[in-house]
Amino acid sequence: MGREPAGREDLRRARRRDPAVRGWGRGRDPRLRPRPDPGSIRSVSGNRAGFLSGVRVLEFGDGVAGAAASSILWSLGADVTAVIDASSPHRWARPRVVRDGAEISLLSVVLDRGKRLVTEFDPPAFDPTGFDVVVFDRVLGVRGALASLADLDAYVEYVEQHNTHAWVTISAFGLSGERAGDLATELTVAAAGGMLSAVRDERTGQPLKLGGQQSLLNAGQAAALAACHAIDLAASGSPAHLDLSAVEATVAMGPVLEVGGLLLNTGSIGGAKRYGAPASFYECTDGLVRISAMEDHQWQGVVAAMGSPDWAGRFATVESRIDAADEVDVHVAAWARTRTKRDAEAVLQAHGVPATAVYSPDEILDSPQLAHRQAFEPLPVGDGREAQIVGLPFRVVDRSPLARRRALRGLRILEASRVLAVPLAGSILGALGAEVTKLEDLPRLDMYRRRGPYIDGQPGMERSAYFALMNHSKRSAAFDVDADRAQLEALLDSTDVVIENLGPKRAGALQLGASTAPAKHPDVLAVTSSGFGQDGPHSRYRAYAYNLQAACGLGYLTRNHAGESAEIDIAWADLIAAYSLATIIAAWAVGPAGNTGAGVDFAMADLVVAHFNDCIAAASVDPGSDESVDRANDLSPFAPCGVYPTSDGWIALSVEGDAQRRGLAKVLASEDLSDAGIARVTQAQRAADLATELRAAGVVAEPVLDAAGLIASPQLDSRGFFVPVEHPEWGRRQLVGVPWRPFGEAPLPLGTPPLLAS
């Protein structure tokens, strides 16, 4: 990766001849306006990890997923060149800011930062072989100068001719199967990937997308990790082309627990509600607080915070709170209504209860925790103004001068973890070839190991469905850690990476954390994951994914047209954190400069807030920006864009431009394209049939699939996305796979979830 790119001197000459190519350098190109010039973008943030320093990335396609992927790679140290198109829909998304007299999308400003931007180029004369990684986004089609590559066969031939190292293709459904050529938007990816069915408007029952463009941003996170995987594969001498499905990434970072529950025949409900009440939003005098008391000791904290009322004694066990969840909710709600949301949060957290208020972007900007971590960074938005956004979700807290070359395949990882984010990160890395060992402290076993829902509904230490889903592709080292420190030290002596989420007290005692492990093992990467980071006023806050989602923007921005928040009973924050953690470790492993020992302090809250950086930026320059943010299923610039009832469920559709509007009107046999007018027609039709007819007319449309619909999906089945494993206790079953694979090859295999101490 240190070689001089072929054709680089030609590019230098072209830059001198043609001002359109000056976007490759630091000089201002007037044709880049109203987008930021590369020189100003490059000075936005010095807070880059540097793990991928020396890696050259080319971004093609100019979609949200590809732009997000290359933005993540840039934040990890890569040098990124992006070929952009002013007509790309995300460049017209809301919220917007006015610059040089024109409106621009803040999402595009956020995703463009740090990149060299190219607006005009000649594809036949352009040679991408001078880059280490190419990320090509085909989710919403191929347009502009790249339109000749819209044909799938032509595209595959182009990749074969030009890929000399690592290439990642992001498409809506993958490059194989009957849906290989189909397109999608944020809304229809969410529909086809099961995310839409997971959130409902409580007033109407209508499926609601998550605030912002989370399905495509999630696909971008997956693509950044896939890029690191491709670099690792290419190190063996042959170019690697990875085929990533945005829909599969949405499943993997969305309804994975619900899908897994069906695959493993648990016969029980998923989500936080399985642990009984309180596990929901509760109204306070000035807003909402999210309480997630899933363990008995957390319930005891709720009782203490409420002043130990007499009625609470009847609900001392999880089982009793499941059986009487509605009654418990009534009592907790009555208490919450007497408090402000910040007071309720503080009192409950003081008693060890995972509880956080729902905060708006405006309130997030005043977060004392983010301020303490210096998480905010300036983002130039033109006309001399700077917005504020959240930068890297982690800090490198300790670096060692010791370096040695390592790779992702064969990377030795010690995982000291519980529940979801860190275990899943370890599993993903294991599926990519790392050698992962899960440390299982026998007196303190992972909640997912010891609790249901259970496979086939049969309890047992080896039968937890959630443990199986989050702990494949690794081995177990199970012993009493306090009684056998020598065995722990032996594991540390033979590892390259330690990743943990045990909490500061336990991790410190075992010297496994980011601030302690490097002292004795200076060549090791030690990653600590926590809700809010290792220091600051909220560093000791207890937090599940549901609380982070409430506090960090998702709970506020996922709302109906009336502005009412929706219940989000899906552990999205954990899932995106898992992929982010895996990406950090993979980038460290494959970076061309070699791997130096370091400590990494990862804050899930910072990551979640950063997913809404466009809204954070808008609030920082205009306190009244909330009215300019899309609500419900709106998705500028698509219109109409929404979810409509059918005779057997719901259909999502997004329309771009007059030609597609005419196609929609023709299929519906109606000129009334208001939401009400569309719903009057769709409610009499079957979702799948109507979606097929609309796609034939050029309109992007998908049925809204639930977990059962995903398992029955012919496209997911044809690609083998649900991967079989063989287990000695429960036999041959399928688990949710990795959302990419080498082009033209079978899906990546998964290892069997480990038996205790196997």
Question: What is the number of other CB atoms lying within 10 angstroms of the CB of residue 293?
Answer: 29
> At residue 525, what are phi and psi to the nearest 5 degrees?
-90, 120
- DSSP state letters, 450-519: HSSSBGGG---TT-BHHHHHHS-S-EEEEE-TTT-HHHHHHHHHT-SEEEE-S-HHHHHHHT-STTTHHH
- Check whether 6 has a pLDDT greater than 80: no
Q: Whole-angstrom Cα distance, residue 536 to residue 540? A: 8
Segment of 46-55, 319-328, 741-750 carrying the highest mean pLDDT: 741-750
Q: Is 283 helix (H, G, I), strand (E, B) or coil?
A: strand
Confidence band, pLDDT 50/70/90 cuts, at residue 616: very high
**Beta pairing partners, 525:** 497, 598
Fold of 272-359: formyl-coa transferase, domain 3 (3.30.1540)
The pLDDT score that the predictor gives to residue 99 is 82
Which pLDDT score, from 0 to 100, does residue 270 have? 60
Question: What pLDDT digit, counting tens, does each position of 730-749 carry?
Answer: 999 999 999 999 999 999 99
Collect all residues with Cβ–Cβ distance below 8 Å to 165 and sequence separation of at least 6: 1, 131, 132, 133, 230, 231, 234, 239, 240
- CA distances from residue 647 to 203, 596, 668, 670, 703 in whole angstroms, order as listed: 19, 59, 15, 18, 12
| Averaged pLDDT of the chain | 91
Q: Hey, how many other C-beta atoms are within 10 angstroms of the C-beta on 140?
A: 27
Q: Alpha carbon of 178 to those of 686, 688, 706, 722: distances in Å?
A: 20, 15, 20, 17
Measured CA to CA, the distance from residue 149 to residue 138 in angstroms comes to 10
Dihedral-angle region of residue 701 (phi above 0 means left; psi in -120 to 50 means alpha; beta otherwise): beta
Please give the residue that has the higher pLDDT: either 82 or 41.
Answer: 82
CATH of 394-614, one of 3.40.50.10540, 3.40.640.10, 2.160.10.10, 3.40.50.280: 3.40.50.10540
Task: Give the pLDDT score at 123.
Answer: 76
Determine which of 7-11, 330-334, 559-563, 677-681 has the lowest per-residue pLDDT on average. 7-11
Give the mean pLDDT of 284-312: 95
Q: Which of 467, 532, 546, 471 is nearest to 504 (CA)?
A: 532
3-state helix, strand, coil in the chain (%, to 5): 40, 20, 40
Q: Please report the sign of the dihedral spanned by the C-alpha atoms of residue 604, residue 229, residue 188, residue 639.
A: positive
Residue 1: is its pLDDT beyond 70?
no
* Strand blocks (E) in 517-603: 525-530, 595-603
The sheet carrying 435-441 orders its strands as 394-404, 595-603, 525-530, 497-500, 412-416, 435-441, 475-479
Same fold, 8-256 and 633-705: no
H or E, element range at 641: strand 641-646
* Residue 15 in this model has a pLDDT that exceeds 60: no
Q: Does the pLDDT of residue 686 top 70, yes or no?
A: yes
For residue 200, give the DSSP letter: B
Residue 120 has what pLDDT?
80
Please write the tens of the pLDDT for every residue from 420-446: 999 999 999 999 999 999 999 999 999
Residues with Cβ within 8 Å of residue 625, at least 6 apart in sequence: 95, 361, 615, 618, 619
| Residue 208 confidence (pLDDT) above 70 | yes
- The dotted CATH code for 633-705 is 3.30.1540.10
Neighbouring-strand partners of residue 277? none
pLDDT at residue 9 tops 90: no
Tell me the pLDDT band of 402, cut-offs 50, 70 and 90. Answer: low
477 residue type, one letter? A
CA distance 148 to 146: 5
Q: Tell which wins on pLDDT, 708 or 628.
A: 708
CB 301 within 8 A of CB 344: no
What fold, for 8-256? Answer: Rossmann fold (3.40.50)
Q: Domain-by-domain residue ranges, the chain?
A: 8-256, 272-359, 394-614, 633-705
